[in-house]
């Protein structure tokens, strides 16, 4: 990255400018012993992610930068001395890909949670906000990310909608929208390109979006689930540089060999031991390995943590702590083109984390651009209030009636097409009873209804889903990847209408109803995706919804139920998925608007 683009970054994120000449003058004097440091971290071990050493050294800070890393005890002249008693001084953690929306809190709240965990830089793809509110949503993300103690770099959502033609979301991004976002200085590149077929088959839509990224000179990030052989080579040849959809050691090595930067993610734990095995096989951890969190639910973020939890898990699976740390710091900084980050060395930005050690990664202190931001889990600097108003009008539904949860049919029996499994869905057929002109949903099945919430239609897409146990209540959600329409699940039309209307009144969120009562609710008034409440409260409300959701079905897969509930409309995937248009299939492109075959 050039000096001027670093300077640009400083201006856009509100972080102090490292090219400040007076600060450099003072840093040189302090490093040479001719002036005191502002802050001196003494008695610690520096985690040197270049040499792989954990060495005794003190670190002197001047303004926003590190001025000197020198022998322990060599200096004591500083405005403030922090005695570390053998703790480890590491670079601040960099998360190379995530969606804040998955944690259901605002960027400001997110910063308040992860900075005390040692994360100082994140690359945020506001893909869900983009799908709901289009460019206004991304613009709000940029504004809401500014001036926080967490450095939030924004990736431009590439797949809005993620299944064009199979669903309707709140916007439609083509090459011109991508080029516009890339022209904003806050945008660091094109976010995960998920439409692999579009890239490989050179669809005008996807090629145009990727081309805008290539011409911008910024990052072009990817999502390369299951790609191998010629398809993998073609995807990378198309300009896509990274992947986080890794499955096993073979997949990890083939992506590394194809020159992709990989983003190991905490939200898919089975891949972590595979990664450790892959690195063992080649005898090194490549410099193109970075770490990310991608999607973390609010309770997990608050309780287990984000990046720091990932470091702990990697060490648990046998990775060396310093190697894991290098992935989360220097490798990440190189990937995103930030020469000021990722290393404890003079001249670099003073983003630092003091850990107890590199096994348990207990976080003691966090510095961001030289400012002591957190100690022992608590943020102790004031954050500016949220100023930018989020986009409104994202719930353009008036109210729904119980009769909209009925599938019309004639006679007394009918054959219907169904979605036969919760995971890796398949098409099914089923003979059902017909009563009073409507299909009787079988006891072991449920209805999934998806209402377009952007004003395209008042009538929902309907599908019968099997394999989710027996339902005694209803669940509604506006968190519904990736269209974030309003989905309602259940068997009882009154409970379903109550759930839907509760969310229409609140502007969106998640709710569980039974017997005419609301069992649990998580209001998400910002675009039907985020809460403005305190993260601890959001975590509590989310747990309440998760538990209530588990109680309205007898399904034994309840631990992952909420994840499947919000993912059941992912029309870009193969197999049947109910969207606002009906039952769609991402593999064949089929759309079934009426599931009744014959009656
Ligand atoms: Fe992805
Ligand atoms: Fe992602
Ligand atoms: Fe999504």
Ligand nearest to the CA of 245: 1
> Mean pLDDT, the chain, as a whole number?
95
Cα of 387 from ligand 3 centre, angstroms: 26
pLDDT value at 320 more than 70 = yes
- 338 CA → ligand 2 middle, Å: 21
Centre of ligand 1 to C-alpha 187, Å, is 18
Positive/negative CA dihedral, 22, 27, 33, 37: positive
- Per-chain residues with Cβ under 5 A from ion ligand 1: 192, 223
Strands 474-477 and 509-514 turn out to be: antiparallel
Distance 285 CA to ligand 3 centre (A): 30
- At residue 374, the pLDDT reads 98
What is the C-alpha end-to-end distance of the chain, expressed in Å? 66
pLDDT of residue 8 exceeding 50: no
Residue 188 confidence (pLDDT): 98
pLDDT for residue 386: 83
- Residues 173-191 have pLDDT tens digits of 999 999 999 999 999 999 9
pLDDT score, position 13: 64
475 CA to middle of ligand 3, Å?
19
Closest ligand relative to 102 C-alpha: 3
Q: Name the pairing type of β-strands 517-523 and 509-514.
A: antiparallel
Give distance in angstroms: CA of 192 to centre of ligand 2: 6
Cα 334 to Cα 337: distance, rounded to the nearest angstrom? 5
Q: How far is the CA of 415 from the centre of ligand 1 (A)?
A: 37
User: How many angstroms is it from 578 CA to the middle of ligand 3?
Assistant: 15
What pLDDT sits at residue 1?
A: 37
Q: Which ligand is nearest to the CA of 295?
A: 2
DSSP 567-598: HTT-TTSSSEEEETTEEEETTT--EES--EEE
pLDDT of residue 2: 38
- The token pair at 303 is 């309780």
The predicted pLDDT at position 5 comes to 42
Instruction: Quote the pLDDT of residue 4.
Output: 40
Q: What's the burial of 588, exposed, middle or buried (CB within 10 Å: 0-12/13-18/19+)?
A: exposed
Residue 194 C-alpha to ligand 1 middle, in angstroms?
7
Mean pLDDT (whole number) for 4-25 = 73
Q: Write out pLDDT tens, residues 188-241.
A: 999 999 999 999 999 999 999 999 999 999 999 999 999 999 999 999 999 999
Query: CA 577 to CA 417: how far, in whole Å?
Result: 12
Q: Is 124 helix (H, G, I), strand (E, B) or coil?
A: strand
Question: Residue 256 C-alpha to ligand 2 middle, in angstroms?
Answer: 19
What is the reported pLDDT for 293? 97
Q: Summarize pLDDT for 300-310 with one digit per residue, the tens.
A: 999 999 999 99
Query: In the numeric block, which tokens belong to residue 543?
Result: 């747990």
pLDDT of amino acid 111: 98
Ligand 3 centre distance from Cα of residue 102 (Å)? 8
Nearest-angstrom CA–CA distance, 323 and 50: 10
Q: What is the mean pLDDT of residues 77-96?
A: 98
- Ligand that lies nearest to the alpha carbon of residue 95, given by its number in the listed order: 2
Residues in the chain, overall count: 599
Q: How confident is the model at residue 573 (pLDDT cuts 50, 70, 90)?
A: confident
CA 180 to ligand 1 center in whole angstroms = 23
What pLDDT shows up at residue 45?
Answer: 98
**CA 66–ligand 2 middle distance (angstroms):** 33
Closest ligand to Cα 127: 3
pLDDT, position 12: 54
Structure tokens at 597: 């075959």
For residue 24, the model assigns a pLDDT of 98
3-state secondary structure of 188: strand
Going from the Cα of 224 to the center of ligand 1, the distance in angstroms, rounded, reads 8
DSSP, res 553: B
Q: What's the 354 CA to ligand 1 centre distance in angstroms?
A: 31
Longest Cα separation, the chain: 94
The mean pLDDT value for 581-585 works out to 97
- Ligand nearest the Cα atom of residue 481: 3
Query: Is 19's pLDDT higher than 80?
Result: yes
The rounded Å distance from CA 162 to ligand 3 centre is 8
CA of 482 to the centre of ligand 3 (A): 4
Q: How far apart are CA 151 and CA 368, in angstroms?
A: 9
Distance CA(409)–CA(414), nearest Å, equals: 7
* pLDDT tens-place string over residues 463-473: 999 999 999 99
Distance 439 CA to ligand 1 centre (A): 37
What's the CA gap between 17 and 14, in Å, rounded?
9
Residue corresponding to tokens 């009144």: 505
**Distance of CA 432 from the midpoint of ligand 2 (Å):** 39
Which ligand is nearest the CA of 482, by number? Answer: 3
Sheet holding 93-98, edge to edge: 93-98, 119-124, 151-156, 187-193, 219-222
Ligand nearest to the CA of 223: 1
Ligand 3 centroid, distance to 155 Cα (angstroms): 14
Separation of CA 505 and ligand 2 centre (Å): 30
Distance 148 CA to ligand 3 centre (A): 25
pLDDT over threshold 50, residue 314: yes
């Amino acid at each position: 990255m050039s000096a001027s683009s670093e300077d640009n970054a400083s201006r856009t994120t509100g972080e102090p400018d490292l090219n400040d000449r007076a600060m450099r003058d003072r840093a040189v004097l302090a490093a040479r012993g001719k002036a005191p440091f502002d802050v001196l971290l003494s008695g610690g071990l520096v985690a040197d992610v270049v040499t792989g050493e954990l060495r005794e050294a003190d670190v002197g800070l001047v303004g926003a930068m590190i001025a000197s890393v020198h022998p322990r005890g060599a200096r004591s002249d500083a405005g403030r001395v922090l005695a570390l008693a053998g703790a480890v001084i590491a670079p601040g953690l960099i998360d190379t890909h995530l969606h804040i929306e998955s944690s259901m809190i605002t960027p400001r709240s997110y910063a308040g949670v992860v900075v005390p965990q040692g994360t100082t830089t994140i690359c945020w793809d506001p893909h869900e906000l983009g799908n709901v509110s289009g460019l206004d949503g991304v613009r709000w993300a940029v504004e809401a990310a500014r001036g926080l103690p967490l450095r939030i770099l924004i990736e431009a959502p590439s797949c809005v909608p993620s299944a064009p033609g199979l669903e309707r979301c709140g916007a439609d991004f083509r090459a011109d929208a991508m080029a516009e976002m890339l022209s904003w200085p806050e945008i660091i590149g094109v976010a995960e390109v998920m439409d692999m077929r579009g890239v490989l088959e050179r669809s005008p839509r996807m090629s145009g979006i990727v081309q805008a990224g290539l011409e911008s000179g910024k990052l072009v990030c990817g999502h390369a689930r299951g790609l191998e052989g010629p398809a993998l080579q073609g995807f990378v040849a198309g300009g896509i540089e990274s992947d986080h959809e890794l499955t096993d050691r073979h997949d990890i090595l083939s992506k590394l060999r194809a020159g992709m930067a990989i983003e190991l993610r905490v939200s898919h734990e089975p891949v972590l031991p595979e990664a450790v095995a892959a690195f063992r096989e080649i005898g090194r951890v490549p410099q193109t390995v970075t770490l990310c969190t991608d999607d973390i639910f609010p309770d997990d973020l608050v309780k287990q943590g984000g990046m720091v939890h990932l470091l702990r898990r990697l060490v648990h699976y046998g990775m060396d702590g310093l190697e894991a740390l290098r992935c989360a710091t220097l490798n990440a900084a190189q990937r995103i083109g930030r020469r000021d980050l990722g290393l404890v060395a003079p001249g670099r930005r003073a983003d630092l984390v003091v850990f107890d050690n590199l096994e348990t990664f207990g976080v003691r202190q966090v510095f961001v651009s030289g400012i002591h931001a957190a100690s022992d889990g608590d943020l102790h600097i004031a954050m500016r209030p949220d100023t930018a108003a989020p986009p409104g009008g994202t719930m353009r539904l008036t109210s729904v009636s119980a009769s909209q949860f009925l599938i019309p049919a004639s006679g007394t029996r009918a054959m219907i097409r169904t979605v036969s499994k919760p995971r890796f869905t398949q098409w099914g057929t089923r003979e059902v009873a017909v009563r009073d002109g409507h299909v009787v949903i079988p006891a072991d099945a449920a209805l999934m209804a998806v209402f377009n919430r952007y004003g395209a239609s008042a009538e929902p897409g309907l599908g019968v889903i099997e394999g989710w146990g027996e339902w005694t209540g209803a669940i509604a959600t506006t968190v519904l990847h990736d269209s974030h329409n309003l989905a309602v699940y259940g068997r009882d039309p009154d409970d379903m209408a109550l759930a839907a209307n509760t969310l229409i009144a609140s502007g969106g969120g998640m709710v569980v109803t039974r017997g005419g009562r609301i069992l649990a609710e998580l209001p998400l008034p910002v675009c039907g995706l985020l809460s403005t409440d305190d993260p601890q409260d959001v975590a509590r409300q989310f747990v309440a919804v998760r538990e209530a959701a588990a109680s309205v079905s007898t399904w034994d897969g309840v631990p992952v139920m909420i994840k499947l509930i919000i993912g059941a409309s992912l029309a870009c995937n193969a197999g049947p998925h109910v969207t606002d248009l009906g039952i769609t299939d991402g593999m064949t492109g089929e759309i079934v608007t009426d599931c009744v075959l014959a009656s």
